[in-house]
Amino acid sequence: MHRVGRDITALADSVEVPGIGFLPVNAFVLHAEEPVVVDTGLGLPDRNFLETVGSAIDPADVRWIWLTHPDRDHTGGLFALLEAAPRARVVTTYIGAGILSTERPLPLERVFLLNPGQSLDVGDRTLTAFRPPLFDNPATVGFYDDRARACFSSDCFGAPMPSADLAEGDDAGALVPEQLRAAQLLWATVDSPWVHAVDVDKYLATVLPLREMDPDSVLSTHLPPATGLAPRMVDTISGAPGSDPFVGPDQGALERMLAGFEPGGRAPGPVRAPEETPAEVPAPGALT
Tens digit of pLDDT for each residue in 43-62? Answer: 888 899 999 999 999 999 99
Mean pLDDT of 163-187: 96
User: How far is residue 279 from each of residues 198, 249, 254, 263, 274, measured CA to CA in Å?
Assistant: 24, 11, 17, 30, 10
Residue 19: the pLDDT is 81
- Range with lowest mean pLDDT among 97-106, 187-196, 227-236, 275-284: 275-284
Residue 264: the pLDDT is 53
Mean pLDDT of 154-161: 97
High-pLDDT (> 90) share of the chain, %: 82
Residue 285: the pLDDT is 43
- Range with lowest mean pLDDT among 23-27, 188-192, 253-257: 253-257
For the chain, domain boundaries: 2-242, 251-287
pLDDT surpasses 50 at 280: no
Residue 126: the pLDDT is 97
State the pLDDT confidence band at 16, using cuts at 50, 70 and 90.
Answer: very high
High-pLDDT (> 70) share of the chain, %: 90
- Range with lowest mean pLDDT among 109-123, 165-179, 226-240, 252-266: 252-266
- Of residues 261 and 69, more confidently modeled: 69
Tens-digit pLDDT profile for residues 213-269: 999 999 999 999 999 999 999 999 999 999 999 998 899 988 988 887 655 545 444
pLDDT surpasses 60 at 286: no
- Average pLDDT value over all residues in the chain: 90
Mean pLDDT of 105-122: 95
State the pLDDT confidence band at 197, using cuts at 50, 70 and 90.
Answer: very high
Residue 254: the pLDDT is 87
Residue 195: the pLDDT is 97
Q: Which CATH class is domain 2-242?
A: alpha beta
User: How far is residue 257 from each of residues 17, 246, 249, measured CA to CA in Å?
Assistant: 13, 19, 10
State the pLDDT confidence band at 27, using cuts at 50, 70 and 90.
Answer: very high
Residue 269: the pLDDT is 46
Mean pLDDT of 134-163: 97
